[in-house]
Each structure stands twice: as C-alpha cells, then as structure tokens.
C-alpha cells in the first residue's frame, strides 16, 4: 500500500486499528488542505454552471474573457466538475 499523497510505500500494518493511509503528518495535512480547496472550487463551479444554464437570454452570443461562448463555457464547467470530483473521490479513498 502507498501514501495517497506522495506514493511512498507504507509499512505493513499489523495489529488492531485502521491501516495507515499517509506516510506522514505532512502528507495528511496536505491532503486535508487539497480536499478543502477542491470542495470550495466544486461549489463555485456548480454555482457558475447553474447560473449559466439558467441565463439563456443571450444564448451563444455571450463571449467570456477567454473567448468562449456560453455552450463552450458550460461544457468546460462540466469537464472541470468531473475532474475535480474524481480527484476528491481519489483523495477520500473512493473509486
């Protein structure tokens, strides 16, 4: 088994209790920070996606500061949500 954050091999667990997930306190704290950051970012992306989907007045005539129309922006937001959700599941031990 390897550390979730850095990939360092972990010592074999013997005895009672949960097997270790991290090689050190530093890795555990870094994962905690990354989880909080991903959670905030996902909340922001989901809010932006709801706003974009609700505001269909301008349709595809809208262009953001990156030159994307509304449909492209919605697709990008969905892609980012999917990627961040996958990373969050990975950090939390899910598949």
Domains in the chain: boundaries: 39-91
Sign of the CA dihedral with 14 first, then 87, 95, and 40 last:
positive
Give the list of residues 6+ apart from residue 3 with CB closer than 8 angstroms, or none.
9, 10, 21, 22, 23, 24, 27
Task: Find the range with the poorest average confidence among 2-11, 12-21, 58-67, 79-88.
Answer: 58-67
The distance of Cα 29 from the centroid of its chain, to the nearest Å, equals 16
In angstroms, rounded to a whole number, what is the distance separating the alpha carbons of residues 47 and 66?
19
Average pLDDT, the chain: 87
Categorize the per-residue pLDDT at 55 as very low, low, confident or very high, splitting at 50, 70 and 90.
confident
Largest CA distance in the chain: 63
pTM of the full predicted structure? Answer: 0.77
Which phi and psi (to 5°) does residue 36 adopt?
-60, -40
Categorize the per-residue pLDDT at 64 as very low, low, confident or very high, splitting at 50, 70 and 90.
confident
Q: Are the C-beta atoms of 66 and 84 separated by less than 8 Å? A: no
């Amino acid at each position: 088994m390897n550390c979730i954050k850095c990939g360092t091999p972990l010592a074999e667990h013997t005895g009672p209790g949960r097997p270790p997930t991290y090689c050190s306190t530093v890795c555990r704290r870094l994962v905690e920070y990354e989880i909080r950051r991903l959670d905030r970012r996902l909340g922001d992306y989901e809010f932006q996606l709801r706003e974009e989907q609700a505001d269909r007045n301008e349709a595809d005539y809208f262009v953001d500061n990156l030159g994307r129309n509304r449909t492209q922006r919605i697709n990008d937001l969905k892609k980012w949500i999917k990627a961040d959700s996958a990373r969050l599941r990975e950090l939390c031990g899910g598949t």
